[in-house]
Amino acid sequence: MSTDSIIIKETKIEDLENILNLWNNGDVMFYVGFPQGLGITMKEMETWHTHLQANKEKRKHYSIYTRELGFCGETFYEINTVHDIAAMDIKLLPKAQGKGIAHYALRYALSHVFDKGLAKRAYVDPNSNNSKAWRLYKKLGFISKERPNYLEPSDSYLEVTKETFIKKGPMDDEGFNQWACTYDSSVLSSQTDNLYPFAEYSKVLDSIYKVIKGKSVKTILDIGFGTGTFTFRLYENGYDIYGVDFSYEMLKTAQSKMPDANLIHWDFTKGLPSELMNLTYDCIISTYALHHLTEEEKINFLNLMKKNLNPGGFIIIGDISFETREQMEEVRHNCNEEWDEEEFYMIYSESKAMLNFSNIYYQKVSFCAGILELRN
């Protein structure tokens, strides 16, 4: 879901019915100990809101909406001025989960706390069985620590500071810089055990390599080259390599392998940098990178890349993807807690009609990955 469609507003009287329904939803409140919901009344909601308004300097409550889904949930913070720390939380209705909304909304609230200097630290205390919440918090920079004595007892305590807060989102320089030194080993572990998300990773790369070797290709643009594991294979075979990646640390690793490659530190959600946007290429590749773009962003990006192809040129994408939504839902179900709700995977049967190319081919490689080839 595009973040442009997410609306976060301070909770007002007109939002109370939505908040009441959220708190009375057993699915939402299960992990905080209320599997039947709170059973709260509108009168109690109005009393709560009056108390909230009387403490606006220390407490801020936001209602979350999107244009497509309407009301989605809440996020809030409460400042403890004595200990210079903010308590944080977020809750979403089931229909809004797995769409990147939680990450965006909680990041919004955290940014307000740190940018306004309201507290030096923030904490959450998720249920130990709520693995999705733990993954979300860790993506934002929360670290598990010993719980301070001044807080009420709880099984967990995760803390983030302004310095460790990963502010830019799932596709940010800081997060991938932290991952750079272990990325290759993470991929190896996943593909060795034939697990989501990197099952048959090497087979995906080998298949792309064979396609390129079988065509008349000289210049290659790599979108999201990472540590350069695959790109180096092309580089050492004499191809002229251009590329962009949003992690400076990964770029340094890749550049050390390919000193003569034209690699640029760049967030490709903004398109191509000026140095590359007016050039054309025989082949544009991307491996395990475009799933950080929403479906709409992915389609728009690929269609824009068409003008950067030389005559006879092609785009080839290897990534987590599925032929049908049913296949994706089956893998999501089987992966259970390992499924990454903050990523966006292409569904070929739904995306094909939106791609402005004369020839479109899709090859399924593993239960969770495939190769998409686009030609004029």
**Amino acid identity at 226:** G
How large a percentage of the chain has pLDDT more than 90? Answer: 68
How high is the pLDDT of residue 4? 59
> Per-residue pLDDT averaged across 144-172, rounded?
81
Q: Do the Cβ atoms of 106 and 113 come closer than 8 Å?
A: no
Distance CA 197, CA 186 (A): 10
Nearest Cα neighbor of 205 from 32, 371, 322 is 371
Mean pLDDT across the chain, nearest whole number?
Answer: 89
> Per-residue pLDDT averaged across 192-207, rounded?
88
Which structure tokens are listed for 307?
A: 């003008």
**What distance lies between CA 303 and its chain's CA centroid?**
22
How high is the pLDDT of residue 168? 47
Which structure tokens are listed for 280?
A: 């054309």
In DSSP terms, 364 is beta-bridged to 370
Which structure tokens are listed for 70?
A: 């309407």
Nearest Cα neighbor of 373 from 357, 361, 364, 365 is 361
Query: Is residue 246 very low, low, confident or very high in pLDDT (cuts 50, 70, 90)?
Result: confident
> Which burial class, exposed, middle or buried, applies to 222 when counting CB atoms under 10 A from its CB (0-12, 13-18, 19+)?
buried
Query: Which residues have C-beta within 8 Å of that of residue 16, sequence separation ≥ 6?
Result: 42, 45, 46, 49
Which structure tokens are listed for 271?
A: 């398109």
Terminal Cα distance for the chain, rounded: 28
pLDDT at 187 > cutoff 90: no
How large a percentage of the chain has pLDDT more than 70? Answer: 91
> E strands, the chain, where?
6-10, 59-66, 70-80, 85-92, 121-124, 143-144, 158-161, 219-223, 240-245, 262-265, 281-287, 309-322, 346-347, 359-366, 369-375
Nearest Cα neighbor of 339 from 320, 318, 326, 362 is 320
Which structure tokens are listed for 308?
A: 């950067």
Q: Do the Cβ atoms of 289 and 224 come closer than 8 Å?
A: yes
Which of 1-10, 135-144, 250-259 reaches the highest mean pLDDT?
Answer: 250-259
Which structure tokens are listed for 29?
A: 């409140």
How high is the pLDDT of residue 73? 97
Task: Map out the domains of the chain with their CATH numbers.
Answer: 3-167 (3.40.630.30), 180-375 (3.40.50.150)
Please report where in the chains the tokens 């350069």 appear, as a residue.
Answer: 228
How high is the pLDDT of residue 112? 93
Distance CA 323, CA 326 (A): 9
How high is the pLDDT of residue 179? 45
Distance CA 104, CA 167 (A): 10
What pTM was estimated for this model as a whole?
0.62
Distance CA 371, CA 286 (A): 10
Distance CA 304, CA 280 (A): 12
Distance CA 220, CA 228 (A): 13
Query: Is residue 180 very low, low, confident or very high in pLDDT (cuts 50, 70, 90)?
Result: very low
Distance CA 94, CA 28 (A): 7
Which structure tokens are listed for 73?
A: 């949930």
Nearest Cα neighbor of 23 from 45, 46, 53 is 45
Q: Do the Cβ atoms of 205 and 191 come closer than 8 Å?
A: no
pLDDT at 269 > cutoff 70: yes
How high is the pLDDT of residue 48? 96
Q: Do the Cβ atoms of 125 and 131 come closer than 8 Å?
A: no
pLDDT at 91 > cutoff 50: yes
> Per-residue pLDDT averaged across 266-287, rounded?
93
How high is the pLDDT of residue 338? 74
Query: Which residues have C-beta within 8 Å of that of residue 264, sequence separation ≥ 6?
Result: 243, 244, 245, 251, 273, 275, 276
